[in-house]
Chains A and B, each alone.
Chain A
Amino acid sequence: MGTLTAGTIMQNVLVAVRDPSAFGAATVTPPTTASGQTFALSVINEAQAKVNAAEAQVVASQSVSVSAGQALVRIAANLPQAIRIVRVWDANNNELQRIDLRTIAFPGSNWFSLTGTTTSWGLIGHDLLLLYPAPTAATTFTVFYIQDPSTVALSQSSTLVLSDDSAQQVMDLAEVILLIKLRSLEYAAATLARLQSRYAKQLATTGGPPTPVLPRTAAIPFVEEMKNGQG
């Protein structure tokens, strides 16, 4: 938790984009300061959510109930504040191992229906949590995730959930958005380039979730030869 308030950040950003009265940020006609400040606060809230996603500062946890044999958990439906899952514990607080579905091959095609003591978790796309093997009996898991703070509206007196050393990134991101609205492209592009440089590692993996989509099963040579027309 930082010490800077959203109101302070907002004023700094509005001065930086040369719109201290927030008329340019207003969403009503004729423009009003109140409307512009409300929009600017929503932009700052979004900016801190994305900076938190990239820098993983605010991690929360939630208990998720799973029925016997249930291997999949819908993340958006069960963990609405989760941006990204980072860890999973079983009911005894044992850490489950994360598996990368791009590289793992399950031991047989019936892997989905296997039950037992759950030892691993993985992601299918960005939105489905896989528990493997599925638990034999109904149980709970504790899921740790990067939290989306933007689900709670900011007021000017709210302090940022991020530490103060991330405030500049939040301001930069908010600044780009407001400069787009103000059509000040030269400065928007320059600030965006600074952010792209800072988050170059994340950009290198862009194009989708880092985790795979398609769990595989170990190839059975005879079947594969048949399918390839060599059998």
Chain B
Amino acid sequence: MAKADVLAIVTNLSNGQANPTLISQFYDDVVRDLGRDAWLTDAIATSVAAGQSLVQLPDTTITPQMQIFNGTQLGELNLQKAIWLYGQAWTTASGIPLDVVYEAETRKSFRLLPAPSANGTLTTITSEYRADVPNYLQWPIALLVFEIEFSRESDHKNAALAKVAGDLGRLMLAMLV
């Protein structure tokens, strides 16, 4: 279901009071929050060239959950352990990748460790942002967007209304699992 359809529900429920620009941003926030809870997951296949250690995931990525290189699940190392295992030149180590080291808190980029000595295929299972969510998430998202819209400072702010809508959205999500 397209983002525009979700925003149309918010507009209808708000009797036209919702700010179209802001609710578009709130939609993005709500979908990213759902992504952190793995409502929207996908497997992204990436070709990795020999010697390439750095992998950059698409901007739509929210939280990578697992990496699989040529069919083998990789572990996760922090920087300290990477140095302890491979030495200070850990970024130049080459072989069959066994682990990943994330580059930043966003986790959208990471290094394969050791870097592959031959070309291979990396599969990353990740939660992701979507502008086109499954039909069953349309109303819960609309209600959570509505909650944010009516919680903010505005000429139509209404904390009680926002809370009822938000609670209903969360109930609907709970009914899905």
Contacts and interface: CB of A to CB of B under 8 A. Distances in A.
A126 B41 contact: yes
A196 B161 contact: no
A50 B164 contact: no
Contact of A39 (B12, B70, B135): B12
A108 to B, nearest CB: 9
Contacts of B13: 177, 180-181
A192 B123 contact: no
A207 to B, nearest CB: 6
Interface string B66-97: 10101111110100010011000000000000
A227 B76 CA distance: 10
A20 interface: no
A229 interface: yes
A176 B140 CA distance: 13
B85 A208 contact: no
Given A53-B136, A183-B161, A227 B81 contact: yes
B125 A185 contact: no
Contact of A124 (B41, B158, B172): B41
Nearest to A151: B135
B137 to A, nearest CB: 9
Contact of B42 (A53, A127, A209): A127
B11 to A, nearest CB: 8
A150 B137 CA distance: 11
B43 A72 contact: yes
A124 B68 CA distance: 14
A196 B173 CA distance: 12
Contact of A176 (B43, B66, B168): B168
B39 A209 contact: yes
Contacts of B136: 49-50, 53, 83, 148, 150
A127 B40 contact: yes
B29 to A, nearest CB: 16
Interface in A12-56: 27, 29, 39, 46, 49-51, 53-54
A112 B40 CA distance: 20
B175 A50 contact: yes
B34 to A, nearest CB: 8
A196 B177 contact: no
Contact of B72 (A109, A124, A213): A109
Nearest to A223: B75
Nearest to B150: A180
B177 A126 contact: yes
Nearest to A217: B73
A205 interface: yes
Contacts of B40: 125-127
Interface of A: 27, 29, 39, 46, 49-51, 53-54, 72, 74, 76, 80, 83-84, 106, 109-113, 124-128, 148, 150-151, 176-177, 180-181, 183, 185, 188-189, 192, 195-196, 199, 202-203, 205-210, 213-215, 217, 223, 226-227, 229
11 contacts: A50-B176, A109-B72, A124-B65, A125-B65, A125-B127, A127-B40, A176-B164, A192-B171, A206-B173, A208-B37, A208-B38
Interface of B: 12-13, 15-16, 37-43, 65-66, 68, 70-75, 77, 81, 84-85, 123, 125, 127, 134-136, 138-139, 146, 158, 160-161, 164-165, 167-168, 170-177
